[in-house]
Structure 1
Amino acid sequence: MIRTLAFLAATAMTGSALAAPTGFVERSLAVHGKTYRYQVFVPASLEGRPAVVLFLHGSGERGSDNRKQLTQGLPHWLEDHPDFPAVVVVPQVPDGQEWTDRDNADMAMAALEHAIKDFHGDRHRLYLTGLSMGGYGSWQLAVDHPGTFAAAAIICGGVTARADGRALYVHGVPDGTDAYAWTAKKIGKLPVWIFHGGDDDVVPTEQSRRMHAALEKRHAAVKYTEYPGVGHGSWDKAYAEPDLWPWMFSHRR
């Protein structure tokens, strides 16, 4: 169950989901007094209580145009897969900010909550995925909202404590604590499939390797795929993996 978001004062500013066309549709909401626009992918065939996927984009897709976040990763892949059997929520981080910033993490969860209500989503089938900066954000949301998601796919992201001096890091890691072990403990038994390029020179591959090892040590349901010779842009290969979505959707809360 998503934690109570009463403190957000989030207000939907959209029409009924029943009137929405298929494909990508624009939505907006207010969080902490600021209005954010986001996109929702609506399947060509929307029946019953659909699964809902939250996608977090990378740093290159930041902005306020509510368009750039559709150009990479899962939204781009969806252009050729209109029959994808889930609603996909695609928020956008403003320029110069991160998913791990509290306001943006809250905004992403508020957008997910509105989509669940608008499209009558199945709360037992909520899924999380992100790439690069959105991979860091995915670890953050998994830490902050244990028990919310049924499974996660995290691509070329990482886990870094603030003490390492990076702009991207998972908040809440106590000083002197192993960030990987701490994160693994916080997310509990969440099934996670981690992807990374073996030659990534932007986000160190070692971060995904260590996160995988920490989850394995806790006997979590974790999978790890590393692409030899691939740099930072490993998301095209990851989202094209034929087993990814059957694996994701096989999990329920």
Structure 2
Amino acid sequence: MMYEKRSSVHCITAPASRWRHIARSSAARLAARAGQVSCLTAVALSASCGAVDGAEDDLELIDETSAAVLVATSLPCSTISTGSIGYLEHLPSDYATTGDQRYPTMIFLHGRDERGSNLDDLERLKTHGPPKHIKNGHTMTFTVDGKTEKFIVIAPQLSPTFGLTYPQAWLTCVIDHTLANYRADPDRLYVTGLSMGGYGTYAAATSATLAPKIAAVAPIAGGGTVSKACVIADNHIPVWAFHGDADTVVPLATGQAMINAINNCEPPPDPPPIFTIYPGVGHNSWDRAYNTGHTYHNPNLYEWLLRQRRDGASVKLTPVSVTKESGLGDAGMLIDEQGIAGDPRDGTAGQPVQGWASGYASDMPANAYIDLGEEVDLTDVYLFDANGNNTTRNDEWVVSVGAPGSWTVVATEPSDRYLVWKRHTVSARTRYVRISNRVAFIGMNEVVLYGRR
């Protein structure tokens, strides 16, 4: 059974003071979603990507002011019988204006009664958990350790076709689609769910292929396969589980058995799982667990998640030294303002003012390499472009990895913007990173590197 296409278009928002009408034509929907400034409308996609029938002339009230928006859409999944998966999407209010900034991302798995097989059924997902809070106006924005951050929230819906179990292939489609199609921080992908979704959360975390992609999990009123619990321990996945001790639907012993199985792994889990038991609470322990304030927990679940990163997460690296191979000027200026540079990947970057201006045309190419002190898995190179050239070349600057005398190019940079951090994603094991300038009088103010040690 394909995920059924319906004619209605969904833009689910919190109450706000200003509204406008928007045509529900395909062009209008796509334009609104692409802009994502005033509103996100729904994109009703089927596995065949057909248009929405009979909706070309309809009008819908759209909230222009609220950042708490849920969009109903779907993703293709050829490895399951339904061919597609419907889901609600919530994006940070500044998603359209923050360039390549990555966001912490939460995948929410619902319970039994919220299953559905068409886009209209996605309305059921607003009953509990993060979608409920977003519906009521919460923007999924939290301040942790002095830094304010915003979640991407993806809430997929399981078809009744699959009974009460989230299939491995289904979970794989959701997680891989999220990482590939959103600016999700790959080191801060979180999975949480309630009841049946709590089981689904454990299913994802105990999958040998999915566990390495998950930064933390929060199963609520659920259980898992105890024989697979050590997949969680082996991947050092932080767990915060919740259960009511009066739960008669999924007994407390079921949740406790999974926690015990994780704790019994060898070597012991690092970090050990957290298990919160609510005295006198039945099956609905999720209202407490998903509370966005501090009525029950400080930090609350969302704040706790924001402190978790995937094991072996990519971090900002500290360069040891710079060696200039050719060219003029002080190549040390490539890394002399790391404090001012801040953390460009997380959107907290500054503007370095000093740069390496490496000479005249006769001095080109100018080369210098950064020593990181040890081999790392290099993941990102950020260059601060202070030039803004109207260049036709894409290789005014070249980034290479390897060792002196043996370099491999991994990125090229045109220097076509002004006072902008430029990100280059790489995947290489290296101790040295070479920066080469091929055009005269083009300075580079700073280089920030990320990787896994």
* SS of aligned partner of 1:157: coil
Does the alignment pair 1:138 with 2:201?
A: yes
- Equivalent residue, structure 2, for 1:38: 87
Does the alignment pair 1:198 with 2:245?
A: yes
- 1:19 is matched with which residue: 28, 35, 40? 35
Does the alignment pair 1:186 with 2:231?
A: yes
Contact 2:221 2:243 in 1 (8 A): yes
| Superposition misfits of 4+ residues, deviation over 6 angstroms | none
Contact 1:155 1:238 in 2 (8 A): yes
Indicate the structure with greater helix content. 1
Deviations 1:188-237 (A, max 9, x none): 22110010011000001111112222222333221010000000011000
Write the distance in 1 (CA, Å) between the matches of 2:35 and 2:179: 16
Give the deviation of 1:26 after TM superposition: 1.9
- Equivalent residue, structure 1, for 2:24: none
- Equivalent residue, structure 1, for 2:335: none
Give the deviation of 1:151 after TM superposition: 0.5
* Distance 1:83-1:53 versus aligned 2 partners, 3 A rule: closer
1:167-186 aligned within 5 A? 170=225, 180=226, 182-186=227-231
* SS of aligned partner of 1:233: coil
Deviations 1:85-121 (A, max 9, x none): 110111101125346353xx42343233333333311
Indicate the structure with greater strand content. 2
Does the alignment pair 1:29 with 2:45?
A: no
Contact 2:104 2:185 in 1 (8 A): yes
Give the deviation of 1:251 after TM superposition: 1.2
- Structure number with greater CO (CA < 8 Å, separation at least 6) is 1
List alignment gaps of at least 5 residues for structure 1: 1-13, 160-169, 171-179
* Distance 1:15-1:110 versus aligned 2 partners, 3 A rule: farther
Does the alignment pair 1:208 with 2:208?
A: no
User: What letter matches 2:102 in structure 1?
Assistant: R
Report the TM-score, using the length of structure 1 for normalisation: 0.78
Alpha-carbon RMSD = 2.2
User: What letter matches 1:86 in structure 2?
Assistant: F
1:70-219 aligned within 5 A? 70-78=126-134, 79-84=136-141, 85-95=150-160, 97-98=162-163, 100-102=165-167, 105-144=168-207, 145-159=210-224, 170=225, 180=226, 182-188=227-233, 189-218=236-265, 219=268
Deviates more, 1:51-60 or 1:138-147: 138-147
- Give % identity: 34
List alignment gaps of at least 5 residues for structure 2: 1-28, 41-66, 142-149, 292-296, 311-453
* Distance 1:96-1:197 versus aligned 2 partners, 3 A rule: farther
Contact 1:91 1:108 in 2 (8 A): no
- 1:249 is matched with which residue: 290, 293, 306? 306
